[in-house]
Structure 1
């Protein structure tokens, strides 16, 4: 695949494990997406949308029982959301967001694949996620960890795009490309899995900023019920490395509705086609779940 002329975002995420782009959205875009998001949140809290992240559980599968105390809404592109989904089509597939993802993965937009597009919100009671890497289990040995970190670090990239002030994401810069220190190993495997780790920082984002981060970075999140959180959370894959990403993406059930999904624009149609190929490749294959908890 052709590569972009610049590597500015790629180089920053390679060095630190994350890159922040300030003022990514215009004021009008922020307000438009915020209004659309609040409608989805209300719909989900009322129990009308089953694909939610229930407080108290960190990774899929989430329980089927309904509770309004949720910290996320999954499947913003799922056609079962009807008209509530349509405002998010342009957001996920705009040239300006694909250009950043392409720079990070060093391909043009034709080399990108659709993955996930969800929303992270404030629960009704405080909740914190454990320290984790998205694709490497905490109990991995040092040798296993080293091997998995090197396996395919730019198979995909993910982002948080807040529509309200967001100070939830906590990361350890640089941890995406090395095995854990003894302190990190202990604190990602102990009973708490939430203790302070030397060098950690809180990623502070204003409405309309966007942060892309490597899924191998040590990270967690702290959700306050007192502050409204509306953060769009998504990912893209490199079309040549779909096998690496398959479990982490398909574990969310996207293959069940993808054939019925009708994109609103050509970029999204192109992205959908790439994910459909991956879903077809693993049809009837039980890949399990990337992490437990």
Structure 2
């Protein structure tokens, strides 16, 4: 090998090492954000494995995307079902053997509104006529951070995770998609000019439990909106997360994809899910949103546009 080839090999080697070190630094900064404590990912993967229904697959759960996996973990961590969830998603596309390799950076804020709703009921009817706290759902408000990447037949393998408890005082001041996080009555209706979508989303064999009582499970609601917006594919009868086109305007781990979920916050059993995509590769549109309202199994689909 001549001197030029040796120098080129050395340069490419150090460039790759520096790039890998840069990704490690991005992951470490995200996972170890102030207040977050790193978590062993093995028990989390074991918990996920217990939910997979595609057990005949070589890699059960391998087709499930990072947003669903993050939601499954957060939802299993507390017993409450009267919840409000805010998810933020960023992505860095690396390269491996000449092919793009997306790293997903996901933050989930999962709020338990059960005791807020109970307090409102006590104020309206008196404590003697209201069920005990357990009936409304127990559990802390929690924030989670996850990093996923494709690996070994998995669309989204969990690499790192961290978590922190959100105090009631902090939660009371938090914002969830332009709404107070602990206000059960603050819905999505006034956040956009919604237009109903006709038609149905394709079906596919379930990869994990898709229902919570009469309504869609949060992770499944996310997957349906992913298919609706072409961030996942189900045209062949099987679900596959793709993530869609990476936005040119996306910078580092900064989020550009936002999911908001309200579950069982009113009188009827219902789950209302909004997927808002920003940083679009579009000169006209700033953001597009898709919405699924599921009331006792009756589903409506909507969309909204935000122009520049």
TM-score by length of 1: 0.25
Q: More helix by proportion, 1 or 2?
A: 1
Q: More strand by proportion, 1 or 2?
A: 2
Structure of greater relative contact order (alpha carbons < 8 Å, 6+ residues apart): 1
TM-score by length of 2: 0.24
